[in-house]
Amino acid sequence: MMKVFRGIPNAEARTPCALTIGNFDGVHRGHKALLTRVHNAAIRLKVAAVVMTFEPHPREFFANSSGDFSRAPSRIANLRDKLQSLADVGIDRVVVEHFNAPFANLTPQEFTEKILVQGLHVKWLMVGEDFRYGAKRAGDVSMLAEAGKKYGFEVEALSAVTFGGTRISSSEVRAALAQGDFSYAKQLLGHAYAISGHVIHGQKLGRTLGFPTLNLRIAHKRPSLSGIFIVQVHGLNDKPLPGVASLGVRPTIDDSGRVLLEVHIFDFSQACYGALVQVEFLEKIREEEKYPDLPALVHAITDDAMHARAYFQRQANAM
Task: Indicate whether 9 and 103 sit together in one domain.
Answer: yes
For 297, the domain range is 192-318
Task: Indicate whether 147 and 211 sit together in one domain.
Answer: no
Number of domains in the chain: 2
What per-residue confidence (pLDDT) applies to 253? Answer: 74
What is d(CA 182, CA 230) in angstroms, rounded to the nearest whole number? 11
Task: Indicate whether 141 and 212 sit together in one domain.
Answer: no
pLDDT tens digits, one per residue of 190-247? 999 999 999 998 766 656 666 889 999 998 888 999 999 999 999 999 999 999 999 9
Nearest to 80 by CA among 263, 235, 269: 235
Does any domain span residue 43? yes
Nearest to 316 by CA among 221, 242, 262, 231: 242
Checking if the pLDDT of 96 tops 90, the result is yes
204 versus 290: which is more confidently predicted?
290
Task: Indicate whether 138 and 275 sit together in one domain.
Answer: no
Does any domain span residue 152? yes
Domain containing 223 — which CATH number? 2.40.30.30
Does any domain span residue 29? yes
Task: Indicate whether 153 and 199 sit together in one domain.
Answer: no
Task: Indicate whether 139 and 223 sit together in one domain.
Answer: no
Task: Indicate whether 202 and 125 sit together in one domain.
Answer: no
What per-residue confidence (pLDDT) applies to 71? Answer: 77
List, in sequence order, the alpha helices (H) in the chain.
Answer: 29-45, 58-66, 79-88, 101-104, 108-110, 141-151, 170-178, 182-189, 205-209, 294-318
Q: What is the DSSP letter of 223?
A: B
What per-residue confidence (pLDDT) applies to 205? Answer: 62
Task: Indicate whether 204 and 69 sit together in one domain.
Answer: no
Does any domain span residue 311? yes
Does any domain span residue 128? yes
- 3-state helix/strand/coil string of 110-146: HHHHHHHHHHCCEEEEEEECCCCECHHHCECHHHHHH
Domain termination site, one of 167, 184, 200: 167
pLDDT tens digits, one per residue of 39-50? 999 999 999 999
pLDDT tens digits, one per residue of 113-161? 999 999 999 999 999 999 999 999 999 999 999 999 999 999 999 998 8
pLDDT tens digits, one per residue of 22-44? 999 999 999 999 999 999 999 99
What per-residue confidence (pLDDT) applies to 164? Answer: 87
Task: Indicate whether 212 and 305 sit together in one domain.
Answer: yes
What is d(CA 30, CA 86) in angstroms, rounded to the nearest whole number? 13
Task: Indicate whether 58 and 131 sit together in one domain.
Answer: yes
Task: Indicate whether 11 and 141 sit together in one domain.
Answer: yes
Checking if the pLDDT of 255 tops 80, the result is no
Structural element, H or E, at residue 200: strand 194-200
Task: Indicate whether 105 and 247 sit together in one domain.
Answer: no
pLDDT tens digits, one per residue of 303-315? 999 999 999 999 9
Checking if the pLDDT of 279 tops 70, the result is yes
